[in-house]
Chains A and B, each alone.
Chain A
């Protein structure tokens, strides 16, 4: 417990001082990206990890919130209003998305969300009068929020960090709450939960809204970061990328999506530095993790660690001192 607490303190100290020890602006920007993608992954994890519902269209929702924020800003509305509208539209879209897809679970849920994601992508791609099509939507500058200019790298990083910490705190509270426990119950034994008096559909629906809120938050940060949105943001590849973050880190854990987001963003950034072929690696990591470490890196490493630890202890108790004697 104390080790865990210590690790949290160290991690927090490291995160809080990123602009001071990172070698350059480029790396601070990478750190900001990790933070807002981690929020996205946390949002998807609500469904994939805690509700057992694999959504393959989350990038579509992300895109809706992003376009909403971008459009509002382009029309010249103030930032608070743009952010508010983007959040409302993002969560409202999620409500429709959930109402349609929650009629099914398992493979059916995957297919409906895949279809919904493709519809949203298709709209962004083809509805040129609204979205600008392939040319995307560009913003002139990052905003000035409450007197802080977001175009400053460090300010943007700290804004992302604060929002990330709040999202993680919300996630932690939710997972430990009765509603969180109920959601995990519907994941493992939906029929039993129904017989115990739970409204399984409504619990899943609320989980979707929470997921939609986190997704919209990360989308708004994304818009402020890139100042550009294109249909590519909504593509199946993007949905798969964030799903990879969740699954590689460990679905259904608090830390997993964060580790996964770090892994994916770092690999993507590093790899795209010297080869263009990021997608091949993305696919290969996907296949390898699903086959070799299906529970994800965080639980998988924890399991191996416990195993090694137990073996060491057992070895020590059976033949004390013999470890050193061996060649």
Chain B
């Protein structure tokens, strides 16, 4: 059974076709890279998969279950987590509170108006463990506003991982990072356990190529090339898109 199946997905804004008949099959445990130049419709595809946008036509299946009409928040409960290209964190709160909110989102306790959140030991422990994994445990109580860009990227990843997803969607996790930070984030991504299926958007091919097993090249909302690393790199259409006409 495929982890993530997208069939005939279309979306247009006004007259502009942003996603045109996209088909995608991601196997369980696979590392899939989605590449394409600016405006290829990569982030739109993610927004359709996570349900933040509604497709005009087509279907989306998560481990065989049709989730095309399932609201975005329910998809998180079904095992889908994502990070954002433009960092959207809770700037007023501490790092650990950000991670705790991610944990709480999937817990029935999120409706509880009576208990003290800071005293819920299991949340604190889990959040700390997640921060340990991304190397931020030592600054867990630092307000997010006082962290560096690279640290915020890692908070994003910690939040997604702590939800223990089946399918993880990473939207340009390397964007805006320095060379050192990129190396750290790459280590982090390589350490993601195999029971998590990872789909990653990356604008820059060099950084992410070695991470991916299969690569999908999007251009003007359409899948142009799909295959393993060598096939996609060797394909003349890839060169055409990236190196120009």
Contacts and interface: CB of A to CB of B under 8 A. Distances in A.
Interface string A164-200: 0000000001101111111011001101111111111
Interface centre among A173, A179, A195, A206, by most chain B C-beta atoms within 10 angstroms, is: A195
A206 B18 CA distance: 37
Contact of B91 (A181, A188, A193): A188
Nearest to B116: A176
A195 B113 contact: no
B105 A198 contact: yes
B242 interface: no
A196 B112 contact: no
B73 interface: yes
A313 B130 CA distance: 37
Interface centre among A193, A194, A197, A199, by most chain B C-beta atoms within 10 angstroms, is: A197
Interface string B153-174: 0000001000100000000000
Given A179-B110, A189-B90, A195 B76 contact: yes
A196 B102 CA distance: 6
Contacts of A192: 84, 88-90
B106 interface: yes
Nearest to B107: A178
Contact of A195 (B50, B90, B92): B50
Contacts of A189: 88-90
B188 interface: no
B52 A196 contact: no
A12 to B, nearest CB: 21
B116 A177 contact: yes
Contact of A197 (B76, B89, B112, B116): B76
Interface in B90-118: 90-92, 97, 100-102, 104-107, 109-118
B64 to A, nearest CB: 21
A181 B97 CA distance: 9
A261 B113 CA distance: 25
Interface in B217-231: none
A177 B113 contact: yes
Contact of B115 (A178, A184, A185, A196): A178
A193 B101 CA distance: 8
Given A192-B84, A195-B76, A196-B76, A179 B52 contact: no
Contact of A173 (B52, B74, B107, B113): B113
A197 to B, nearest CB: 3
A184 B101 CA distance: 10
Interface string A142-179: 00000000000000000000000000000001101111
B73 A198 contact: yes
Nearest to B100: A181
A195 B110 contact: no
B59 interface: no
Interface of A: 173-174, 176-182, 184-185, 188-189, 191-200, 206, 210
For the complex of A and B, list the 9 residue pairs with the smallest distance between their C-beta atoms, beginning with the closest. A197-B76, A196-B105, A197-B105, A179-B113, A192-B88, A177-B113, A176-B116, A178-B117, A178-B112
9 contacts: A173-B113, A177-B114, A178-B112, A178-B117, A185-B101, A195-B50, A196-B105, A196-B159, A197-B163
